[in-house]
Structure 1
Amino acid sequence: MTKKTAIALALLAAVAGGSAVAASPDYPPRKPGLWEMNMAQPDDPQAKPHVVQQCIDARTDAAMREMGQGMSRDACSKQDTRKEGGKIVVDSVCKMGATTLTSHAEISGDFGSSYRMESNTVYDPPLAGRAKGTAIVEAKWLGPCRANQKPGDVIMPDGRTMNFMDMQSMPKKK
């Protein structure tokens, strides 16, 4: 797996799982509208921060959460989610190919105006040359979606727009 592929997978996980990391009934839905997520890997000097915007409504937020839960069910042997004080804490053990990812994530915020997730992961064996990594996602609500946007639109770091809901309705390859 190339470093670029690993970064793309991390972005996809953050976009789809930004509201799905904590698969718990106590996990609050995000406020409908336009969200901006700044994603960084501070312990990797070669990784550049990425900014992604999402236009969501209650339906697309729930669909993203369900997708993340499905990914967790399929890939994770452990997914422990709990509240600790004002934070949601998630400890997981998942497989990506031949690599086992052991992660600890803490999520804080009100999900109406902002939230922050910090995740520390150990890769065994190393993934894309890395034995461990930290990912930070800082999200903020920008306001209503723009007039030309529809729920599910995701504006990627390169400016391309993809619609999460359209991708969900595409026929699955066999």
Structure 2
Amino acid sequence: MSIRFRPLFALSLLCLAASAAAVELPANLPKRKAGLWEMQMGMAGGQSQTMKVCLDEATDKAMYQMGAQMSGSMCSKFSLAVKDGAVVADGVCNLPGPQGNITMTSHSETRFQGDSAYRTTGHVKYDPAVMGHSEADVDSSGKWVGACAAGQKPGDMILPNGQKVNLNDMAKAK
């Protein structure tokens, strides 16, 4: 993935994740198994980024809550539902950009394989275009890889650059 395209990629992933948590979650939303998860995120035709996170039930819920806080009032429309075995999210969000506001319209579907794997596919449209791109396909997946490593606590996330942060500590700091 080109360095120039990375901000667009990050923006797309952030907004898909953040907007998905900006509403009350459906009661039948699938839950992920506690333990160590490996997650990959990328754009169609591009390089993917991999991170690992130690999850428990409380941290899984906190990730959704953090997304809701991040999205704030950016999304004028949003729906989240479990349909035909998939979590379907649609949103229209206004984001600040270097040349003014950007309207991002997104659609994503997440399919779970029990409580130990999932895959999300999404499509994002930008108006006006961002760095010459008016649309992007986004793909992410996650799989349970086992128990959290010795010394890890729930919320510990190892970013693609090797840096470790704790999601629970970040949520408490806000």
Interval containing the TM-score (normalised by the shorter chain): 0.7 to 0.9
TM-score using structure 2 length: 0.83
- Structure 1 residues 151, 62: closer, same or farther in 2, change over 3 A? same
Shift of 1:79: 1.0
1:106 lines up with 2:109 in the alignment:
yes
The residue identity in structure 1 corresponding to 2:153 is: K
2:171 match: 168
Percent of residue pairs identical: 37
Shift of 1:11: 5.3
The residue identity in structure 2 corresponding to 1:162 is: V
1:60 lines up with 2:63 in the alignment:
no
1:30 match: 32
Shift of 1:83: 2.5
Shift of 1:48: 2.0
CA RMSD of aligned residues (A): 2.5
Distance in 2 of aligned mates of 1:25 and 1:52: 27
Shift of 1:74: 2.1
- Structure 1 residues 115, 64: closer, same or farther in 2, change over 3 A? same
Shift of 1:128: 3.2
Partner secondary structure for residue 118 of structure 1: strand
1:87 lines up with 2:90 in the alignment:
no
Which stretch shows the higher mean deviation, 27-36 or 135-144?
27-36
Contact 1:83 1:89 in 2 (8 A): yes
Shift of 1:124: 0.5
Contact 1:118 1:135 in 2 (8 A): yes
1:144 lines up with 2:147 in the alignment:
yes
Runs of 4+ deviating beyond 6 Å: none
1:158 to 156, 161, 168: 161
Shift of 1:69: 2.6
1:130 lines up with 2:129 in the alignment:
no
TM-score using structure 1 length: 0.83
Distance in 2 of aligned mates of 1:131 and 1:123: 5
The residue identity in structure 2 corresponding to 1:71 is: M
The residue identity in structure 2 corresponding to 1:107 is: T
The residue identity in structure 2 corresponding to 1:86 is: G
- Structure 1 residues 73, 111: closer, same or farther in 2, change over 3 A? farther
Distance in 1 of aligned mates of 2:67 and 2:33: 18
Partner secondary structure for residue 170 of structure 2: helix
Shift of 1:31: 1.2
The one-character-per-residue Cα deviations of 1:78-111 (angstroms, maximum 9, x if unpaired) are 1112222111211111111111110111110145
Aligned residues: 166
2:123 match: 120
* Gaps in structure 1 of 5+ consecutive residues: none
- Structure 1 residues 63, 135: closer, same or farther in 2, change over 3 A? same
Contact 1:19 1:61 in 2 (8 A): no
